[in-house]
Every structure is written in C-alpha cells, then in structure tokens.
Structure 1
Amino acid sequence: MPRALPIPTEQQREEKVSRTSFLRAEFDQQGGKTVMTGKYQTAPVKIAKTFDYSGELAAIVMDASPGMLEGDIYQFDWRAGPGTSVYVTNQSYTKVHPCKEGAGAVMQQRFKVEEGALMQSMMEPIMLYRGAALMNESEVQLGNGAVWMQAEVLSPGRLLRGESFVYRKLDNRLKVYHGDELIFYQRQLIEPGLQQLKAPGSWEEQTHLGTLYAFSDRINAGWLETVRAALEELPEEAGAHAVLAGASLTSKHGLGVLAAGRTAWQLQRTLQAVWTALRQERLQAPPLRLLS
C-alpha cells in the first residue's frame, strides 16, 4: 500500500484553510514495475485510480468540484523515482470560472524526475470562462537520463455559449532544470482585452493552441526528425479544419512542438501522434492514449 507522505507544516495547513488544495505523489520501482509508494491529497483533488501498463503506471487525477474558482490554489507535487515510468492525466477539462479584477486561480505543479525515469503529463485541455484568470506554473527538475514530456491544449472558452477569448488573463509559465542548471524558461501571457490576437503573426483566425514539450539529456536531432515525420504523416485538412504545426529543438536538452487550430480534438490528435512516435521510436515504449 502507498505510504503517506510527510504531514504538512503549520504554514501549509493555514494555506489549506485559504482554499489551497494539495496533491503529492511518489512513484518507485518495485519488482520491475512502477508503483505509487506515497501520496497526500486534499479535497477537491485526488488520484482517482492508477493502472499498470506492462510495468508503466498511469495515474488519473480527479477534481471533485465544478472547476477552479476565484482564490483557488492547486499545488501538485510529483516525484518519479529512478527508473520509473509514469503517465499522469485527468478526467476532464481544467475549467476556470469568472474571477474578480485583481484576483484569479492558481495552478502550480512541480515534477522531480530522477535518474533514468520517464514522467509524462498529458492533461485534458484548459478552458477559461468569461472573466476568468489563471496563473498556470510548472517547474521540472531532471536527473541524468530522465525524460519529462507534457502536452497542453488551450481552449478560448465555451464556444457554444458564445465565449471566445473573453477571459481576463492566462499567465502560463514553465521552468526546467537539469540538475542545478536552468535549461529552459517560458512565459506565455494572454490578456485578450489588451492584445490584438487576430493581428497578423498572432493567433489570426486560430482559436486553440497546443504544445508538447520534451526535455532530457538524451534528446538529439533524431528526436526532432521523429516529430517532423509524425507531423508530415497526419492527414491534410483545409479551411476551418486546417492545423498549423511546427517543431524545433530548444537551446539545451529540449524539444518543443507548437500547433494551432480551430478545435481542441484536432490538436489533441496532433499531439497524440507526436507523443506516440516519440514513445515508439525514441523510448521503445508502446502507444498510450492522450484523448479521453
């Protein structure tokens, strides 16, 4: 049975009262399989279920609330021990409700991926409702030979309710360390009321944005070739169904894929193809599903 992680400090208990929700999980190798060896969680988020896939462990996160409200803080802390292989996803979209001016919701994730481990964060899309604001921040710490991958799709709002870029703010940040060295920092700030998103070179007619990042000291030009080949094999679609996608290496130990389109499912399909190709050709791992 998974062991309990350390009891939160007094400061953390006070933060919990102020609507901070914690989810911490540890994964280790036991008997040639990845197993969850520790967890701590507070409502409304929890690990609903884990599944074993030939020694690789998939963990599904559940949010037992209508979505993130003003003042909500979610803190996720993931540790993948040496040689483990972990895939984390969630049950549905991350929904962010309206927030007052100057306030918002906060999602913070920390990934510690130890020597030779594989950690994959493949969550369902993020959707911000009218007037919503979200700070979405991830920090990754990589050991030697470790691999971290993340896919993310951003939706402009509830399109069937006439919401398209009527949220207030999305502040997206990603920081990656290899050992003690900072190897990547990305900040994406979207404020639809202040920016000309339809301008040439910006979003133009696209409404959804997808990204897939991979970081590891094992990444080389061959990984980029695999990604570009996977993108080229996708069926071509025209007009409103066209997906624009490209990929490049980062300055050190990284790979980024950017895709833009008009629907979330198309971008999920695109990132699924890239993820599957990397797993099969670069990690010698069987395909897993990104789509729910």
Structure 2
Amino acid sequence: MDSRLHIIAGYKEGKSYVKDLYVSPPFRVVSVGQRKKDHKLYQIVMSSSPGILDGDRYQLDIALEKGAALQLQSQSYQRLFNMKDRAVQQLNISMQDNTSFAYVPHPVVPHEDSNFKSKAEVNIGENSQIIISEIITCGRKHYGELFKLTRFQNLTEIYHKDQLVVKDNILIQPDLIPIKSIGNLEEYTHQGTLIFYTTKKHVDKNALIETIYTHIELQNEMEVGISAMEDNGFIIRTLGHGGEVMYNFFLTVQEILWALE
C-alpha cells in the first residue's frame, strides 16, 4: 500500500496551527494538547492498520513555516510484520527559520522475517531545533522472537544551509552482523537513539547534558551514553531490556529540550 501524510505547520499571531493537512489510509492525524498554554502545535499520528505490512511504502512530508513549533506524537508501538520482500518509509522534514520540531515515537517491534528501511531527511533553518528519536526492540520476546528479523535500517540525515551536519545510520541484519557480538548489542534486547540538533546560538549543550545526566542517575534499568557534537547538539544512545523504560526516558528528555526558547 502506498500511504501519504503531509502536514504544514503555520505561525500566525504568536500561535502555531495546522495550515495544511493531507493523509491517505491508514493514516489519521488528531490534534492534542489544546489545554497547553505555550501556543505550540501538538499532533498525534494514528493508523487504522495493525502495523507495517510487506510492500508498504510510507511517505511523510512535514513542513514548518517561520516561527512554527510542532510536536508529533505516535499512537502505539509500531509493528513490522512478516515480509517476503520489504517495506520502506521516507520522512522529509523542512524547517524554516525560528522553528522547533519534535518526534519521539513509541518503540518499533520487528516480527520474524520483517525487512524495513526508513530514511529521515531534515533541512533545518536558522535559530531552530529538532528532537527526533527511535527505539528498536528485539521483536516479540515472549514468543521467542529474539532478533529473528531479516533486516532493519534507519538512516537520519540533517542538513543546514545545504550542508550535511548530522548523519546517523542504524542497521540490524542478524545474518550479516552478529547482534550479540562485542561492540553490538551484546546481552541487551533494546536499543534507543535520540538526536538533538539546534542552530540556536545561545543554547548551552553542555548544561543540557548535565541536566539530562541528573535523570540518568535516577534509574538503573538501562545503559545510557551521550555524545556531544561539535556544534550545538548531541546524540543519546540507550541499551536495555524494555522499550517502555526507554520511551519514558526519551519523553523526559523531550520535555527538557522542548521548553527551550
């Protein structure tokens, strides 16, 4: 199935709003956060499908006009079903100046023989910031599906002024790369990645990292590492045995970063 989602977030009179919206099945987009007083835009992406199926092609186009702030939320865990071929997803995010975008979705659950490739391409303007994450699980652990997927890849590229500033490539292919080997996931079953990048000059990334570390020290259910970028940004990696713990931690990080002005 070819499926499309297209959102343009506009900005007028100090408020972000949905300027244009188009979806095709199985997508549906619903506004949330109406009671918030920050005048930012909150949208939840829902689906009538139980998950991503063989042959599915998802095209998501997100645009933020100058001044807009958009936070996308997911409905539930994303399941990748058994596949004979593969499924693909393309996410394009266009951010004008003075914009903020965040997308911290629920974990992905790859079933046995699933084959999925996702690419996110971001173009970010001046005085702007993006928060984007992903959590990949081992599969249906209680059914004995420990990394029985065929292949999973998620490529993220962030561009500023037509120059590549961030590139992150997650590839899990058990028949090619032993998942439990040293340097890979070893004894862990879940992996998470959160990318924060900003072109705001006044943001102190080191202070933000220190704040996040105070939350890391409060938990002992997963391993967490933070790598600072040369510019104002960082990447958080997590390893553990449960998706919900990682997801809630990423929501906490999102809350900290989303409050930046």
Whether the TM-score (by the shorter chain) exceeds 0.5 is: yes
Is the partner of 1:233 in helix, strand or coil?
helix
Taking the aligned partners of 1:140 and 1:268, their CA distance within structure 2 comes to 22
Q: For 1:43 and 1:233, how far apart are their aligned partners in 2?
A: 39
Match of 1:36 in 2: 18
The equivalent residue for 1:67 is 51
Cα distance in 1, alignment partners of residues 201 and 50 from structure 2: 39
CA separation in 2, counterparts of 1:136 and 1:44?
Answer: 18
Amino acid at match of 1:27: A
- The superposition leaves residues 5-27 of structure 1 with CA deviations (integer Å, 9 ceiling, x where unpaired) of xxxxxxxxxxxxxx210000001
Deviation at 1:200, TM superposition (A): 1.9
Q: Please give the residue correspondences for 1:76-225 in structure 2 after superposition, counting only pairs within 5 Å.
A: 76-100=60-84, 103-218=85-200, 222-225=204-207
Q: Which amino acid aligns with 2:205?
A: W
5+ residue gaps, structure 1: 1-18, 285-292
Q: What's the offset of the Cα at 1:233? A: 3.2
Say yes or no: does 1:245 pair with 2:229: no
Root-mean-square deviation (CA), in Å?
Answer: 1.7
Native 8 Å contact 2:102 2:254 kept in 1: no
Q: In structure 2, what residue type is equivalent to 1:218?
A: K
The code of the aligned residue for 1:96 comes to L
CA distance in 1, matches of 2:201, 2:53: 38
Q: 1:219 offset after TM fit, Å?
A: 6.4
Shift of 1:236: 3.7
Say whether the 8 Å CA contact 1:231–1:245 is kept in structure 2.
Answer: no
Change (3 A) 1:261 1:219: farther
* Alpha-carbon separation, structure 1, partners of 2:175 and 2:214: 35
Shift of residue 263, structure 1, vs aligned partner = 0.2
3-state SS in 2 of match to 1:171 = strand
2:250 aligns with one of 267, 271, 285: 271
Structure 2 residue corresponding to 1:261, chosen from 224, 237, 240: 240
Question: C-alpha displacement at 1:255, in angstroms?
Answer: 1.5
Secondary structure (helix, strand or coil) at the match of 1:48 reads strand
Which amino acid in the other structure matches residue 254 of structure 1?
G
* Cα displacement (A) at 1:118: 0.4
Q: Is the 2:97–2:124 Cα contact (8 Å) retained in structure 1?
A: yes
- In structure 1, how many angstroms separate the alpha carbons of the residues matched to 2:75 and 2:222? 25
Deviation at 1:226, TM superposition (A): 1.6
CA distance in 1, matches of 2:104, 2:202: 22
Percent identical across equivalent pairs? 24
Change (3 A) 1:46 1:231: same
Aligned length: 258
- The letter of the residue matching 2:162 is D
The residue identity in structure 2 corresponding to 1:267 is M
Which amino acid in structure 1 is aligned with residue 150 of structure 2? R
Report the secondary structure of 2:33's partner residue. Answer: strand
**5+ long unaligned stretches in structure 2:** none
- What is the TM-score of this pair, normalised by structure 1? 0.83
Normalising to structure 2: TM-score of the pair?
0.93
Decide which moves more: 188-197 or 78-87: 188-197
1:213-237 residue CA offsets vs partner (Å, 9 max, x unmatched): 1112226782233224323333242
CA pair 253-50 structure 1, distance change in 2 beyond 3 A: same
**Which stretch has the larger CA shift, 265-274 or 32-41?**
265-274
Which AA in structure 1 matches 2:52? M
